[in-house]
Structure 1
Amino acid sequence: MYHPAGHDHALRHAVQEVRTGRWVAMAGLLDETSGWDAWTRRTQVLATVAAGTDVVHAWRTEEPASLAAAVMACRVAVERAVRAHRSGHVRARDLWHEARAACRETADCVPADPVPWIGLLALAALDIRRDLPEHRLAPPGPMLPPGPWGLLAEAEKRDPHNREAHHRMLQFVYAGSGGPLSEAVNYARWAEAQAPVGSPLHALPLYVRVERYRRERGHERALDLHWVTEDAVRDARAALDGWFLFCATEEASQLDLNHLAHALFGALCFSDAARVFRALGPYYTTLPWAYRTARPDDRALAEEVFLRARARCLGG
């Protein structure tokens, strides 16, 4: 099954309550959440559900002094702006400005929280022409592109090696590159090199490899060799040894686990992939499996590919 909360049962309950228009479970969950990793992950998941409702607005109306509600309002504003941009909505630009203002206001209210800065990083990817000076700062090292490095530094200052912050930065790099992904490769390797053992950033290069496969329409060209090259196997092994073997899998990103299972399966490392499939339990995400199908928007096809891969690995 797919569920955005994965193994986080408390988050699953809060998500269900948000879907029915109630905010009390969300408020209680965030009140008891400790650690920026869990805080970032839970607020992100809740925002994807709450963005289509007015539940966060209702919460802020009832508890205007709640800092958690302010962070969630910031999250929802960013999520709505991103969705409007993707769909070409007529109010996309207005929502982008509103979300940026919400992030800045929230950063002032909760100065220790990395989430408002992560929100600004997400919005930076929508600035396709790089109009804002803060989105084209000089990089901290060679082979890296100009970008919102100041925003990333603010997020890093509050939570070093924050998973979502670096994924948002990678999306910014994608947005500025319609062709070769050399800058994205360089960024992913740079972020991975900075990361300590146990950090999910060791899985970042797997995302770039999947994106390249998608852009090259690998499913049409039978590019299974894409996954068994020396570099591909090395990236899969690095994520396994540098992150998976040390992480609490029940708290890990479902996307990260799926990307790792996918990479190990593609690299023909079936026994190692089986360990990741067992950690996933009953959960899966449509990406990256959907990119191995002729119709990436068809979730049923993605599920078929996932089930075949899991059966092959667990059966071995």
Structure 2
Amino acid sequence: MQARRAEQSAVVAEGLVKRFGEFTAVDGVSFTVETGTVLGLLGPNGAGKTTTVNMLATLLLPDAGTARIAGHDVVSERAEVRRSIMLTGQFAALDESLTGHENLVLFGRLMGLDKKAARARAEELLEAFNLTEAAKRRVGKFSGGMRRRIDIACGLVVRPEVVFLDEPTTGLDPRSRQDVWNIVTSLRDLGITTLLTTQYLEEADLLSDNIVVIDKGKVIAEGTADDLKDRVSGTFCEIVPSYPDDVVKITELLADLAPADQIRTNAAGTSLTVPATRGTNTLVEIVRRLDDAQIALTDVGLRRPSLDDVFLKLTEAPPVPGAAR
């Protein structure tokens, strides 16, 4: 059964370790990515995401552990791995003095296509990535979103089996981020396996079939977005008073509904959440108490935990003894 699963997995990482001097950047990372799916590799800055990707893409040699990409070992079959993948980082690797069309043709020629085939493939990709009108403009004049699209298009001149997108939307405006999200969806539709590293919770939630959370070089959780949400916490009530000064009073009124450390105020001090241990009955009780106390509310309702809640819970530092909450 395990051998069969390995055959279906485009990416298999087992116990990957990478050290830089005395610092261990990646410490025993293991996960698999099934063929044709999107894996979100999620973690804060410095978690080890990019180092992990660089080992999988053969840019770094692991100090321990093994990995296979499309069936090829990342150490002993590096050339085969590189022919099977596309890697796009946070910064577009393009020739800014060339036009979008010229960049695509150049990449096609570098990948072994003849002139006619390279030009034909360039036209296909320009249309697919909605860049036809900008094809004759120098890439140096492109917006951030257009540069990212042409960069990804260049990597698809010859269809890869696995695509690594290392924080591809960093620094992009919302519209450009949406363009990249559409590309990731298109890759899945084409049956191309994608490993997406990101710090953006909504990005991982929206795009990933499976999510691996990494922190301090270790995998601390893995599963679908729904799995992770269910594991970390259940349904809760979110309360937004019309007057933020009422937050303290609300906390006192609801103190017996949950342990003190589970009644949480947001960073701005404008709302709070209470675990809905009895579901809608908890919500009804909260509304009754606040109505009796004549506290005006802007919003109150049952909420399911977001991936933001999951991430904060998984990566939060342990409390310091004696520190104020």
TM-score w.r.t. length of structure 2: 0.31
- Structure having the larger proportion of residues in helix: 1
- Structure having the larger proportion of residues in strand: 2
Bigger relative contact order (CA 8 A; separation at least 6): 2
TM-score w.r.t. length of structure 1: 0.31
The structure with the largest alpha-carbon Rg is 2
